[in-house]
Amino acid sequence: MKKIITMLALSLFAATAAFAAEGKVISVADGQAVLEMGTDAKLKKGAGVKLNGKSGKVISVDGTKITIKAKIASELKAGDTVKVDKAAASMQGC
């Protein structure tokens, strides 16, 4: 039983931690940062993300350019390298 629980916990961790990518800031305006990401960054519009560890939301995706709305955007400037992670799904219900 312990093996099953351990494997389940590890697979959940792997699923949530599987995506982490770096991008380069192209521009910043109105609390939104436009990033140039690699082709392997498969983010969708409306997805919750963490931009350098702070929460944000994908506003638009145009090829490898991704626009993210986040409070931290005002602290960024063009040319900065940032880390983008998928945000963990929040638990709902109960």
Chain segment 48-78, per-residue pLDDT in tens? 999 988 999 999 999 889 999 999 998 999 9
What letter represents residue 40's amino acid?
A: D
With a threshold of 0.75, does the pTM exceed it?
A: no
* Torsion sign (Cα): 87, 18, 83, 43: negative
pLDDT of the residue at 8: 64
Q: Where are the domains of the chain?
A: 19-86
**Summary mean pLDDT of the chain:** 82
pLDDT of the residue at 89: 60
Best CATH choice for the domain 19-86 from the list 3.40.50.1110, 2.40.30.20, 1.10.3720.10, 1.10.10.1100:
2.40.30.20
